[in-house]
Amino acid sequence: MGLELNVCTPTASATASTAFHAPVDFTAIKHRQQAAWASGDYAVIGTTLQMVGESLAEAVDVRAGERVLDVAAGNGNATLAAARRFARVTSTDYVPHLLEKGAARAKAEGLDIQFQVADAEALPFEEGAFDVALSTFGAMFTPDQNRAARELVRVVRSGGRIGMANWTPEGFIGQLFRVIASHVPPPPGALSPVQWGSEPRIVELFGAEATDLRCVRRYFNFRYQSAAHWIEVFRNFYGPTHKAYAALDSAGQARLTEDLTALLERLNVGGPNSLVVPGEYLEVVIATQ
């Protein structure tokens, strides 16, 4: 679902980050984010998103024998999708536990994949080492967005491709983060990760290094038994939600639950007996110079 564009075109509702910002302590923000993603167990959530990795691998046209890097791979959705297409895949993340989960999935399928701990802002690979770089809901969470974008471009050969799936500001996850931020403010100077889900920001980050940019707005349906069930799962396993609840006292937790329930029920298209919440994301394919 969505309109394919030969070039990522700005939309009226998307917001580019062109305003001046005071110096930001990216290291402190990164440590806080890393702690968040290491908490809970993102693999429980990540496994449900496998179809996004499959869609992205098709959109980027991953081919047998290509060298593919999955950046901020989590438990390996794009990793597995590329390996299933007989690519030579290296899967990276800065949370070792998540790579272990991905390695277990790969072993279960008999897939030969390299797993390596790596920071998306300082990838330990030579320039042009890969034909394709992928990231599903991963690189978008880096605190230094410009640096992460430069690294994606650097490790891909001339004429290669970069493929990303990024939650949009207007979609469910963008709204979720705004609800969380109203209860637990983000670190000073931190840019919203969902900027990566806006066409203007993609052009800003990658336009100068691209021969072609293609954007498609797609939807992933979050399917749970109820709003209460979703909150239970995300409170226990999804790093940002897990950390937000941990930062609040019992009264604050109750208020957060109330606001999350209202958001989920407002967006639910599954009727009174189930929860189906469409989550909009931007599927991005970039051809590098």
Distance CA 287, CA 289 (A): 7
What's at 23, amino acid-wise?
P
Q: Is 90 exposed, middle or buried (0-12, 13-18, 19+ CB in 10 A)?
A: buried
pLDDT in tens, 179-206: 999 999 998 888 999 999 999 999 999 9
Map out the domains of the chain with their CATH numbers.
Answer: 26-175+184-221+279-288 (3.40.50.150)
| CA atoms 128, 129, 134, 138: torsion sign | negative
How much is the pLDDT for 247?
96
CA-based nearest residue to 161, from 68, 274, 64: 68
Q: Would you give the end-to-end CA distance of the chain in angstroms?
A: 28
In the chain, % of residues over pLDDT 90: 85
Q: Please determine, for residue 3, whether its predicted confidence score (pLDDT) is greater than 50.
A: no
How much is the pLDDT for 167?
98
Strands 156-167 and 275-288: antiparallel
Look up the pTM and report it.
0.91
What's the average model confidence in pLDDT over 60-89? 98
